[in-house]
């Protein structure tokens, strides 16, 4: 399958590596030459430097022949525009755009453009772990006291108290979800101006300071927290904050957001009770989508001038119900076979296409986009 990826950050690198490992043909677009140099040694990857939202750049990358388009930069607007250009101009069968802002999921109503919001996936995963704790409460851990252990000050409502460190998009949406579920929440944020702004938006205490420092966590009430959640964008900060919460303040449950999935097992071995990786979640979404792509390139012929492609006809197929002889196929195109309900049909002029048919066609590279529009809509 041909896949075009825009953005070679952490998520893009892992996506490209997994796609190549599975035998897919990958083209990578990135603005920055220095990032592309990191992919030079990756086998079977074509590199294109440029703006992934630009029509000419997408054409150079072969988006008109792609089966799947992945927009994985750190910029929501770039990802959404690039994916929509790929769908509208080049009729890519399926596109996936990574977005951080939850409201951006609803920018487009294109059913074949999937928006993946790691912010919400991370919040949902953390909320599941909080709910598990509510069902099976944990006692405070019996850990050796740290040298500067501080006294625990219990309150009657401490079973509902959750301390969150990090007020990025994940932190803000998590706090809102926790408050909506009836929890008492306090939030730690180191940016003074941003914290002051949040005090007008959130109905919870906001403590200004570094969440990896004991005095700041003590001020925030870590000594009575039942759950401690570190969701900054920095794995190291999240680890140290959770370790302080566990060893100094004896918080029963610590949860850390992890940017690099490779750090998950390490952080669990170092005492973090649960980890949530938004990068791994995005990978799972991409993995789920791969088997459902309705177009797949089977073989290239004559130096890629011609190709054998498999199309699965969906509900929106414009020619479903029509006989082959009545369909205006491109001149350099032959329908080789039709797979229907486990049976292979040899196509004839009076063979009628049906929704769900798997159509195998031989077509030139230049005329494939025309055939795609004809069969897929």
- How far apart, in whole angstroms, are the C-alpha atoms of residue 254 and residue 246? 7
| Domain identity same for 201 and 254 | yes
Q: Are residues 259 and 142 in the same domain?
A: yes
What average pLDDT does the segment 156-164 reach?
A: 73
Model pLDDT, residue 87: 93
57 lies in the same domain as 139: no
Q: What is the domain extent for residue 301?
A: 295-376
Please report, for the domain that includes residue 143, its CATH number.
Answer: 3.40.50.720
- Rank 17-26, 260-269, 360-369 by mean pLDDT and report only the highest: 260-269
CA 137/CA 36 separation, integer angstroms: 48
Please tell me whether residues 253 and 361 are part of one structural domain.
no
Confidence at 258, pLDDT banded by 50, 70, 90 = very high
Q: How many residues does the chain have?
A: 377
My answer on whether 40 and 148 are in the same domain is: no
Compute φ and ψ for 356, nearest 5 degrees.
Answer: 100, -10
Of 244, 276, 308, at which residue does a domain stop?
A: 276
Residue 246 pLDDT exceeds 70: yes
Q: Is residue 287 part of a domain?
A: no
CB 3 within 8 A of CB 19: yes
Query: Are the beta carbons of 273 and 253 closer than 8 angstroms?
Result: yes
What's the confidence (pLDDT) of residue 31?
95
Q: Which residue has the tokens 């995005």?
A: 282
Contacts of 67 (CB under 8 A, 6+ apart): 1, 2, 3, 92, 93, 94, 293, 295, 296, 297
pLDDT digits (tens, 9 = 90+) for 300-330: 776 567 888 888 898 888 999 999 999 999 9
Assess contact for 170 and 231: CB atoms under 8 A: yes
CB 101 within 8 A of CB 173: no
The two three-digit tokens of residue 6, written as one number: 């825009």
Residue 282 lies in a domain: no
* pLDDT score at 136: 65
- The pTM for the full model equals 0.70
Residue 238 confidence (pLDDT): 96
Residues 355, 208 within the same domain: no
**How large a percentage of the chain has pLDDT more than 90?**
62
Among 228, 249, 276, the domain boundary falls at 276
| Strand, coil or helix: 135 | helix
Tell me the residue ranges of DSSP E strands in 126-282: 161-165, 184-189, 206-208, 227-230, 253-258, 274-277
In a domain, 283, yes or no: no
Residues 248-258 have a mean pLDDT of 94
Please report the pLDDT score of residue 154 as a whole number. 41
Averaged pLDDT, 272-293 = 79
Predicted confidence (pLDDT) per residue in 90-109, tens digit: 989 889 999 999 999 888 88
| pLDDT tens for each residue of 21-60 | 887 889 999 999 999 999 988 888 999 999 999 999 999 9
User: Per-residue pLDDT tens for 111-138?
Assistant: 889 899 989 889 998 998 888 766 666 6
Q: Are residues 192 and 241 in the same domain?
A: yes
Residue where a domain terminates, one of 245, 276, 307: 276
Residue 74 in domain: yes
Same-domain pairing of 258 and 135: yes
> At 367, is the pLDDT very low, low, confident or very high (cuts 50, 70, 90)?
confident
Q: Tell whether 132 is covered by a domain.
A: yes
Confidence bin at 16 (pLDDT 50/70/90): very high
Which CATH number belongs to the domain containing residue 360 in this structure? Answer: 3.30.70.1450
174-227 pLDDT, tens digit per residue, is 999 999 999 999 999 999 999 999 999 999 999 999 999 999 999 999 999 999
In a domain, 289, yes or no: no
Q: What is the pLDDT of residue 61?
A: 97
- In the predicted model, what is the mean pLDDT of the chain? 88
Read off the pLDDT band of 241 (50, 70, 90): very high
Residues 270, 126 share a domain: yes
What are the helix (H) ranges across 223-276? 235-247, 263-269
Residues 107 and 154 in one domain: no
pLDDT at residue 1 tops 90: no
High-pLDDT (> 70) share of the chain, %: 90
Q: Kindly state the average pLDDT of the residues 337-347.
A: 92
Residue 52 included in any domain: yes
Same domain, yes or no: 181 and 315 = no
Residue 85 lies in a domain: yes
Q: Say whether both 158 and 246 belong to one domain.
A: yes
Number of folded domains in the chain? 3
């Amino acid at each position: 399958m041909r896949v075009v990826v825009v953005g070679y950050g952490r998520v893009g690198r892992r996506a490209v590596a997994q796609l190549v490992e599975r035998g897919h043909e990958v083209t990578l677009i990135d603005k920055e030459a220095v990032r592309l140099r990191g992919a030079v040694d990756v086998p079977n990857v074509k590199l294109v430097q440029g703006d992934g939202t630009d029509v000419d750049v997408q054409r150079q990358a072969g988006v008109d022949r792609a089966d799947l388009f992945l927009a994985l930069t750190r910029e929501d607007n770039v990802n959404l525009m690039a994916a929509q250009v790929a769908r509208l101009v080049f009729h890519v069968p399926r596109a996936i755009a990574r977005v951080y802002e939850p409201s951006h999921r609803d920018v487009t109503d294109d059913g074949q453009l999937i928006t993946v919001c790691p912010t919400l996936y991370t919040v949902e995963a953390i909320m599941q772990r909080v709910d598990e704790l509510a069902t099976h409460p944990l006692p405070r851990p019996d850990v050796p006291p740290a040298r500067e252990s501080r006294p625990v000050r219990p309150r009657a409502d401490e079973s509902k108290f959750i301390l969150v460190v990090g007020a990025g998009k994940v932190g803000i949406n998590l706090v809102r979800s926790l408050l909506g579920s009836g929890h008492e929440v306090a939030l730690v944020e180191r940016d003074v101006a941003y914290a002051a702004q949040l005090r007008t938006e959130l109905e919870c205490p906001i403590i200004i300071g570094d969440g990896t420092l004991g005095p700041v966590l003590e001020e925030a009430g870590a000594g009575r927290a039942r759950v401690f959640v570190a969701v900054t964008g920095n794995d190291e900060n999240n680890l140290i904050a959770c370790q302080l919460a566990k060893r100094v303040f004896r918080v029963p449950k610590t949860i850390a957001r992890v940017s690099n999935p490779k750090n998950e097992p390490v952080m669990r071995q170092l005492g973090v009770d649960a980890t949530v990786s938004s990068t791994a979640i995005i990978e799972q979404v991409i993995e789920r989508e791969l088997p459902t792509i309705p177009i797949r390139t089977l073989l290239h012929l004559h130096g890629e001038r011609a190709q054998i492609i498999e199309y699965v006809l969906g509900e929106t197929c414009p020619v479903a119900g029509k006989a082959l002889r009545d369909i205006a196929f491109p001149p350099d195109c032959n329908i080789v076979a039709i797979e229907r309900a486990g049976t292979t049909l040899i196509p004839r002029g009076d063979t009628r296409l049906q929704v769900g048919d798997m159509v195998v066609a031989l077509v030139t590279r230049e005329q494939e986009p025309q055939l795609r529009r004809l069969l897929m809509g």
